[in-house]
Amino acid sequence: MDNMIVVRDFVKKYGDFTAVDHVSFEVERGSIFAFLGPNGAGKSTTINTLCTIFEKTSGTLLIDGKDLSRDKDAVRSVIGVVFQESTLDSKMTVEENLTMHGHFYGLPKSLINERIRFVLEIVDLSEWRKAMVTSLSGGMKRRVEIARSLLHQPKMLFLDEPTTGLDPQTRANIWEYIARLQKEQQLTIFLTTHYMEEAEISDKVAVMDHGRIIAFDTPRALKQRYTKDKAQLISSDGPALEAALRQHDLAFEGYGGHYAVDLGAADLPRFLEVISEHRPCIHELEINKGTLNDVFLEITGKDIRG
């Protein structure tokens, strides 16, 4: 039993509308799993069902070997959740929020204090223990929520867009905590995000659209399958370079000296040949690796969703 999460034929309907349509996947224990998809793809429905807030319509969902519809409380005590929107008790202090959480999960009173110190240290908020939640910045609130979700030492952590609306520094910071946590505590992490580069830290990525999983693999494999590297170059002798690219059967765009060349895995040797032949007239060369963002757009298309 190496899987932390097992989902089989999961269906969730709202009236006639099918939000999640026969989805199956597994999440390995101790791994980071990223769940991507455009708005309305069924991600939130899936994560909310896994967190025991929503009821499934049909299918089997297991977390840590426990059935979600039969053993809700057992599941609840092994998971930690950071929701998309803040779920802090804003009129209370950081400490009161954490203490309350400790009570909810039945931690012994003597242990709560010690745990609070520990989790606040993880997110660097030890000095803010007595502060009111309303006095914290957006990033700090997120960190408090992460700290809170760790207080009862869950085996499984759900992060639903944990960095939405935060500045780049705070985002980087939060991912650093998450990566460290995963390593130190052997946590299994299930995350959703809109920032594709953030999904790079995960071991497996699932892309969901229209209620189905349409791609499922490691970030590396997905990039290999769905993206091409692109070379941007500037040449002082445009016509000669164009001719050479055509001759070597390399697809490109551009004119008048500026070109973008698609590089499939097999194209590289020929491309290098062109470069070495034309080296004197090439001023700039930049090779961009395909990103998960490209993968995402490639799979889900570019239409704007609601």
Partner 1 sequence: MRIVGALWLRNIKLFARNRVQLVLLLIMPFFYLYLLSTIFQSTAVESPINYVLAGIVIIVVFQTSLNIATSTIEDIVSGYMKEVLVSPVKRMQIAAGQMLSSTTIASLQGVLILIIGYFIGMRYTSVLTPLAILGFMIMVGLVFSAFGLFLAAAVKNSQTFQIVSVAITTPITFLCGVYVPLSLLPEGLRYVALFNPMTYATAFFRALSLEKMSLPADELIAEQLAFKVSGFVITPQISILIVFSFGVLFLLLSTLAFSKVDFSRINRTPGSKDIFQQ
Taking residues 286 to 305 in sequence order and writing x for each that binds partner 1 by CB under 8 A, - otherwise, the string is --------------------
Residues in contact with partner 1, total (CB under 8 A)? 38
How far is it, in rounded angstroms, from Cα 296 to Cα 196?
8
Nearest approach, Cβ of residue 128 and partner 1 (Å): 18
**108-139: b or e for each residue (b if 16 or more CB lie within 10 Å)?**
eeeebeebbeebbebbebeebeeeebeebeeb
Least distance from C-beta 110 to partner 1, angstroms? Answer: 13
Report the alpha-carbon distance of residue 104 to residue 113 in Å, rounded: 14
Query: What is residue 46's three-state secondary structure?
Result: helix
Task: Lay out the site mask for partner 1 across 91-120 (x = CB under 8 A, - = otherwise).
Answer: xx---x--xxx-xxxx--------------
CA-to-CA distance for 48 and 42, rounded, in angstroms?
10
Angle 268-277/238-247 helices, nearest 10 degrees?
A: 150
Q: For the CB of residue 235, give the shortest distance to partner 1 in the complex, in Å.
A: 47
Site string for partner 1, 191-230 (x = CB under 8 A): ----------------------------------------
Q: Which is nearer to partner 1, 17 or 302 (CB)?
A: 17
Q: Which of residues 227-286 bind partner 1 (CB under 8 A)?
A: none
Q: Is residue 6 a contact residue for partner 1 (CB under 8 A)?
A: no
**Other CB atoms within 10 Å distance of the CB of residue 102:** 20
Q: Which is nearer to partner 1, 12 or 204 (CB)?
A: 12
The Cα–Cα gap between 214 and 209 comes to 7
83, 128, 175, 259: residue in contact with partner 1 (rule CB under 8 A): 83
Q: Please name the residue that has the structure tokens 């395909």.
A: 290
**Taking CB under 8 A as the criterion, which residues in 133-152 touch partner 1?**
148
**Which among 224, 109, 114, 125 is positioned nearest to 170, based on CA atoms?**
125
Read off the tokens for 110: 């003597």
Q: From the CB of 71, what's the least distance to partner 1, in Å?
A: 11
Q: Which range, of 27-35, 59-67, 83-91, 249-257, touches partner 1 by CB under 8 A?
A: 83-91
In contact, 5 and 24? CB cutoff 8 Å? no
State the maximum Cα–Cα separation within the chain, in Å, rounded to a whole number.
77
Give the x/- contact pattern for partner 1 in 28-57, rule: CB under 8 A: -----------xx-x-xx--x--xxxxx--
**Which residues contribute to the site for partner 1 (CB under 8 A)?**
14, 19, 39-40, 42, 44-45, 48, 51-55, 73, 76-77, 79, 81, 83-92, 96, 99-101, 103-106, 148, 306
